[in-house]
Structure 1
Amino acid sequence: MSCRRSWPALDAARGSYYCFGRRFMVRTRYEMILDASHDFITLVDRDYIYSYVNEPYCREMGSRRQEILGKTVSELWGEEKFQGRIKAHLDECFAGQESHDIDRFEFGSEFRYIHVSYYPYKTGDAITHAMVYSHDITAIKELESKILDYEFKDRTTGLFNRKSFNMVLELELEKARRSESDKVRALLFINLRNMGQINTRFGAHVGDLLLESTAIKVKEALRMSDYVFRFEGKQLVVLLTTMKRETDITLVAENIREKTTFPYNFKDEAIYIGCNVGAAVFPFDGQTAEELVTSAMSAATEASERDLPIVVFNRDLYHRAVRKNKLKADVRRALVEEQFSQVFQPIIDVATGGIVGAEALIRWQHRELGLVSPTEFIPLAEESGDTGMIGRWNLFRVCRYLRAWDGFLGDRYISINFSSREFSDPGLVEFIASVLASHAVAPQRVKLEITETRTMEDMEEAVAKIRRLAELGVEVLIDDFGAGFSSLAYLKRLPARIVKIDKVFVDHVEDEVCDRLFLAGMIAMIQSYGKTVVVEGVETPGQVRILRELGVSRIQGFHYSRPLAPEAFERLLRANASLP
């Protein structure tokens, strides 16, 4: 018989204490685990009251646990936030469905992106609570934003880029097609002026800052519903999504021009960026995104070429755009089918009237469109990247004629125009050397004409290339001097012996004293650098007389001779004629 007495009440008390202690230890252990989590974990009952919150949640809310427990969700987050999204997810949870969401919450003074998961929580068989797990994904969202910015935003201006433009335009046009009342959209292509010259004069970093400032000003001129993108280079594009009248386009364009033509101050110097705007309206000027872009770009080109503030696309521009696209497509075929030909305009010694050389000019006799001016097809060839092919053809043909005229050419030369793209070719010097050698032509008989604008785009590169060509024996002429944005000080740095002054400075020297004085100053400055002046576009005896008085030694223009076919120019050379 055991001596241990049985005390049922005490045993029951011990059992209860043991069970309670075990439950307390388990509960405490779970709470410790939940409190150690980096996630926010809460229990919300069917009355939307907090029954449990873990320690990380309390820290982020800036409250103690007892201050949160017993409060409703709307009391903590506000009625608008609660009714907006949270309540719907909780109700789904109480109905037995898991729910997930990513939302933006305010914690103190900062906003965080939170991934929230709602799980049904049962007591017995009944769903009594929603267990809410919240994970801070702000760092992930910021990384995603940086990746998206890199892909869809321009890093210089902060504007959406061309890839974004293509996507947004397609979406907006589709939205317009489906709408019963809001069917009109408009594109405004903005060509910013003087950016290349600003980069050259002040540096690319200044150009980037001005471009960024200009982009901000363009955005200020728009409504919240409109978009602005950096399309490429110095071109911005605006998409207007709400238009009631076509006059809205003009008003917006004028507002943009007013904002962008405001002078910028850099080191006490005013810098102006101006712009030309081309506009097209959907669905009238294009049924697809591609058609609308083509129409707007055509209008922008027209505005830039004619220096107009704004051009809205019309039928005439459409026909011009069709012609332009046809010419661009036909350039290569024209080379193969020998639709191009050369003419030669003599360059005259003013004192003797003798021919010192000639400029080789290209003519295009299109099979369908007839004679096409170089001022029309050369820019198109530059756009399509075909100037290199034309330049090579031009050099080969000139060398062929030089070889044929070797016996009576004397010390005369032929000059050839080279585009910006061609002059930038790293293999240009070697190519010219090989062509001259293959035709047995003396390098001194070929001169290259490049525009002053091209030399200013990269002065160091231009100087180095001109010197390399000089070592080969090929001289470089600076063409159309004064027509660009240059300063005469740049001329001093260029190792080019001959400078051609653009026709625009000669047109009114007979009747405008100011023009005559300006031209005289330009000629004197060029000659002070030890360079020879050739004046282009001379058409009257009066102009010749004035230029002679100003000390010009070489002249080119209709007064002496129009461009001549090779056979006619050859006869002139054989006769060794002087032109009056």
Structure 2
Amino acid sequence: MNQHYDLGVVALSMLVAAYASYVALDLARRVRNTDSRSSILWTVGGALVLGSGIWSMHFVGMLAMHLPIEVGYDPLTTLLSWIAAVVVSIVALRLAARDTLRPASLTAGSLAMGGGICAMHYIGMAALQLSLPVIWQPWLVALSIAIACVASASALLIFFGMRKLHGLRARGAQVVAALVMGLAIGGMHYTGMAAAHFPADAICLSVDGLAGRSLDTMVVLASVILLSLTLFTSLLDARLHAKASRLASSLQSVNAQLQDANAELQRLAFMDPLTDLANRALFEERLARALDRADRKSPDPARLAVLFIDLDGFKPINDSYGHGEGDAVLCQVAARLRAISRNNDMPARVGGDEFVLLAEDIGGVPDARATAARVLQALAQPYQLSSRQVTLSCSIGVVVYPDHGHRDVLMTSADAAMYAAKRAGGSTYTVFEPQMHVDARRQMELQQALRGAAERGELALHYQPKIDSQSGRTLGLEALLRWTHPQLGAVSPGVFIPIAERFGLIIAIGDWVIEQACRQLAAWAREGITLCVAINLSAHQLRLPDLIERLRQALQRHGVAARQLICEITETVAMEDTEATERTLQQLGELGVELSIDDFGTGYSSLAYLRKLRVQQLKIDHGFVRDLADSADARAVVSAVVQLAHALGLRVVAEGVETPEQRAILVDMGCDELQGFYFAKPMSAQALASAGLLDCSPESRNQ
């Protein structure tokens, strides 16, 4: 029996095959790119749609065949062929969900898919139910099976090859792959059809089954609609999945940024932003944990030490070279503290130039002393700035727990010990002693009382005469600050001046001294007395950018000539920051005030350097004067200073003269002016007048 085909329907079946292949590749992506639960749902739903699409191609291809007899298809057998298409679709989609495709899996999968496609085809052929058996050509049957297996292998290889493609390139490759796969599936179908030879006398027993000339159109339309809906759903799901992925990625990015921001906030909350050391909050938290660990080892608790470190002379670096250079020094200090710290030590910055070091598991006070000595040595090395090197020292307070008291006062005790080291001259460490708390409390009480002392009339200036060594006449006076406390009585300047400097009161007190000295000079001028008065300038006053203006306004306010004011600075202060000191003293000289270096011989300056400062006086420290009668070395030093000072055109003042022997030696050496208890103690202006110590003339100073 001869059969022929409706070419239009054949072409339609091939297009359906290609379209089904395109949808199959898209479904494979969805199965691959979704989670396990969604993958199962896409596999089942996709297999139903994909199987229906492949089966519709086969069924339409069957309908394209025309036999000289009326034919129909058994519904049950046709259903079985559809089930075969669905099963082979499940196999294909599950293979597509794998991460890799090994050769064994490719071979087994290709055979399973090819067998399933052939089962669908030949079961569908059996749905004709002819009265005589179909005669098959074996080689064409084998060829159709081979085409099905090769087509299946190609489909798998194409899909796995397309995974690396994205965007338009992926879609273009998918279209080409679908056409190739559609041709392969159609080739298998029509090869299988060509293998069938229908007997001439056979009749169709299922003529009452699925039949009709419009059936092919209905199947095609139903399949295309179903495939299109599936493709649309797949594309929509892919877009939603991509948007969800972008949103998840964005949320991850935001979460990462929030984590970074939280980490940065944590860092800012517990780390010093300049030095990257722990700040006070983190240090105190770590100290509390360390103390807890130490207490748990009772009755023999582990020992730990806290070192409170304050830099000596740091402020002049900021004032002279700028805060940028000061910050560079602080960073180098931090680096050195980290370098000498053990793994379980913790350095921290707790203030401007204040650092602390927590040392756990130490043997006791000797170990703490050794640690403090290492810190002193490390911080005493030169610091490199942008264009120069500077050298600093530090003062360290050492406290050991539990040796030095309760855990709640460790920081206070270390701070008190550090200020004891400061009072000892700095560049050293001091181990805490109980009386330091008493000293600290007394200092707090004194600084509270010192605030407002000038307004309450508790401060006063006393004046000590400076005597011409030849004539014995008063050449000038030194103004010395005195504080009389209502309950404590007279408080020594050696006690309250350091407190004023520590607690930031020295500037206001210095302004008060300048004002009172100028007021007193004006009062004496109204009485016809012309004198020079020396006032002491602290290091804090020298760093004031408007010091010259403050002096100028005070002199103008009281009508005092600038030459009547002598500004004294100690040799140590002069050498703290030589460039800044030279600049300030030059401005003072331009203002017209005279300049004097106090306590000469206690620092490290040279006369040649002091000459650059344009000073007019040197005051020999009282320590040398005290030893004149008993020490040949002291006499040699003072004699050399006098001779060299005169060679440089400087006047020499000796302070602390208390005996006739000292006076005689100094006069013989040619010292210009003498000052001390031998001549007069510091006293009020009224007491000076009563003692007749104001009997002088302007000319006497140049005698």
Query: For the superposition of Structure 1 and Structure 2, which TM-score range results when normalised by the shorter chain?
Result: 0.5 to 0.7
Displacement of 1:554: 0.9
> Which has the larger share of helix?
2
- Code of the residue aligned with 1:22 in structure 2: it is V
The match for 1:302 is 420
> In 2, are the aligned partners of 1:408 and 1:574 still within 8 Å (CA)?
no
Displacement of 1:473: 3.7
The match for 2:632 is 513
> In 2, are the aligned partners of 1:197 and 1:485 still within 8 Å (CA)?
no
The match for 1:167 is 281
Deviant stretches of 4+, over 6 Å: 6-17, 28-32, 132-151, 194-211, 262-266, 269-272
> In 1, are the aligned partners of 2:585 and 2:614 still within 8 Å (CA)?
yes
The match for 2:535 is 416
> In 1, are the aligned partners of 2:316 and 2:577 still within 8 Å (CA)?
no
> In 2, are the aligned partners of 1:200 and 1:458 still within 8 Å (CA)?
no
> In 1, are the aligned partners of 2:280 and 2:349 still within 8 Å (CA)?
no
- Code of the residue aligned with 1:444 in structure 2: it is R
- Code of the residue aligned with 1:567 in structure 2: it is Q
**Does 1:427 find its partner at 2:427?**
no
The match for 1:541 is 660
The match for 2:178 is none
Q: Distance in 2 between matches of 1:393 and 1:253?
A: 40
Q: 1:154 to 1:541 in 2, by over 3 A?
A: farther
Q: Distance in 1 between matches of 2:659 and 2:321?
A: 40
- Deviation per residue, 1:132-154 (Å, 9 max, x gap): 98979999999998998888446
Displacement of 1:516: 3.1
Matches within 5 A, 1:35-74: 52=99
Secondary structure of the 2:454 match is helix
Aligned residue among 290, 296, 301 for 1:181? 296
> In 1, are the aligned partners of 2:600 and 2:619 still within 8 Å (CA)?
yes
> In 2, are the aligned partners of 1:154 and 1:230 still within 8 Å (CA)?
no
- Deviation per residue, 1:267-309 (Å, 9 max, x gap): xx99975544212346755654xx5433212201212322584
Matches within 5 A, 1:416-565: 416-457=535-576, 459=578, 461-565=580-684
- Code of the residue aligned with 2:422 in structure 1: it is S
The match for 2:216 is none
Say which one has the larger Rg.
2
**Does 1:337 find its partner at 2:452?**
no
Q: 1:466 to 1:304 in 2, by over 3 A?
A: closer
Q: Distance in 2 between matches of 1:251 and 1:546?
A: 47
Q: Distance in 1 between matches of 2:312 and 2:319?
A: 13
> In 1, are the aligned partners of 2:397 and 2:421 still within 8 Å (CA)?
yes
The match for 1:566 is 685
Q: 1:149 to 1:7 in 2, by over 3 A?
A: same
Task: Identify unmatched segments of 5+ residues in structure 1.
Answer: 33-49, 54-65, 67-131
> In 2, are the aligned partners of 1:359 and 1:414 still within 8 Å (CA)?
yes
Q: 1:181 to 1:357 in 2, by over 3 A?
A: same
> In 2, are the aligned partners of 1:200 and 1:457 still within 8 Å (CA)?
no
**Higher alpha-carbon deviation: 306-315 or 18-27:** 18-27
Displacement of 1:557: 1.7
Q: Distance in 2 between matches of 1:534 and 1:399?
A: 22
Matches within 5 A, 1:392-407: 392-406=511-525
Matches within 5 A, 1:278-427: 278-281=397-400, 285=405, 288=408, 291-307=409-425, 309-406=428-525, 410-427=529-546
Secondary structure of the 1:432 match is helix
Q: 1:165 to 1:522 in 2, by over 3 A?
A: farther
**Does 1:24 find its partner at 2:143?**
no
Q: Distance in 1 between matches of 2:694 and 2:316?
A: 46
The match for 2:78 is none
- Deviation per residue, 1:251-271 (Å, 9 max, x gap): 4223434555678999xx999
Q: Distance in 1 between matches of 2:680 and 2:12?
A: 129
Secondary structure of the 1:403 match is helix
- Code of the residue aligned with 2:25 in structure 1: it is F
Q: 1:351 to 1:375 in 2, by over 3 A?
A: same
Q: 1:390 to 1:203 in 2, by over 3 A?
A: closer
> Which has the larger share of strand?
1
RMSD: 4.7
Secondary structure of the 2:438 match is helix
- Code of the residue aligned with 2:283 in structure 1: it is L
> In 2, are the aligned partners of 1:173 and 1:185 still within 8 Å (CA)?
no
What's the TM-score once normalised by structure 1's chain length? 0.67
- Deviation per residue, 1:385-410 (Å, 9 max, x gap): 22222123223332333333336664
- Between Structure 1 and Structure 2, how many residues are aligned? 475
Displacement of 1:570: 1.5
- Deviation per residue, 1:416-472 (Å, 9 max, x gap): 112222333333333333333333434333222223444445555544544544454
Q: Distance in 1 between matches of 2:645 and 2:266?
A: 52
Q: 1:262 to 1:412 in 2, by over 3 A?
A: closer
- Deviation per residue, 1:35-65 (Å, 9 max, x gap): xxxxxxxxxxxxxxx9759xxxxxxxxxxxx
Q: 1:369 to 1:388 in 2, by over 3 A?
A: same
The match for 1:44 is none
The match for 1:112 is none
> In 1, are the aligned partners of 2:586 and 2:613 still within 8 Å (CA)?
no
Q: 1:454 to 1:6 in 2, by over 3 A?
A: same
Q: Distance in 1 between matches of 2:535 and 2:6?
A: 125
Secondary structure of the 1:555 match is strand
> In 2, are the aligned partners of 1:344 and 1:564 still within 8 Å (CA)?
yes
- Code of the residue aligned with 2:359 in structure 1: it is L
Q: Distance in 2 between matches of 1:51 and 1:542?
A: 110
> In 2, are the aligned partners of 1:286 and 1:295 still within 8 Å (CA)?
no
The match for 2:150 is none
> In 2, are the aligned partners of 1:172 and 1:241 still within 8 Å (CA)?
no
Task: Identify unmatched segments of 5+ residues in structure 2.
Answer: 34-96, 101-159, 161-247
**Higher alpha-carbon deviation: 172-181 or 547-556:** 172-181
- Deviation per residue, 1:192-217 (Å, 9 max, x gap): 55767999999999998877666544
Displacement of 1:346: 1.0
Displacement of 1:360: 0.9
Displacement of 1:576: 2.7
**Does 1:229 find its partner at 2:348?**
yes
Q: Distance in 2 between matches of 1:282 and 1:546?
A: 55
- Deviation per residue, 1:310-342 (Å, 9 max, x gap): 322222000000011111111123222211122
Q: Distance in 1 between matches of 2:553 and 2:384?
A: 49
Matches within 5 A, 1:88-99: none
Q: Distance in 1 between matches of 2:360 and 2:535?
A: 49
Displacement of 1:478: 2.5
**Higher alpha-carbon deviation: 144-153 or 328-337:** 144-153
Secondary structure of the 2:517 match is helix
Q: Distance in 1 between matches of 2:528 and 2:492?
A: 28
Q: Percent identity?
A: 29
Secondary structure of the 1:405 match is helix
Secondary structure of the 2:615 match is coil
> In 2, are the aligned partners of 1:409 and 1:573 still within 8 Å (CA)?
no
Secondary structure of the 1:552 match is coil
Q: 1:231 to 1:534 in 2, by over 3 A?
A: farther
The match for 1:85 is none
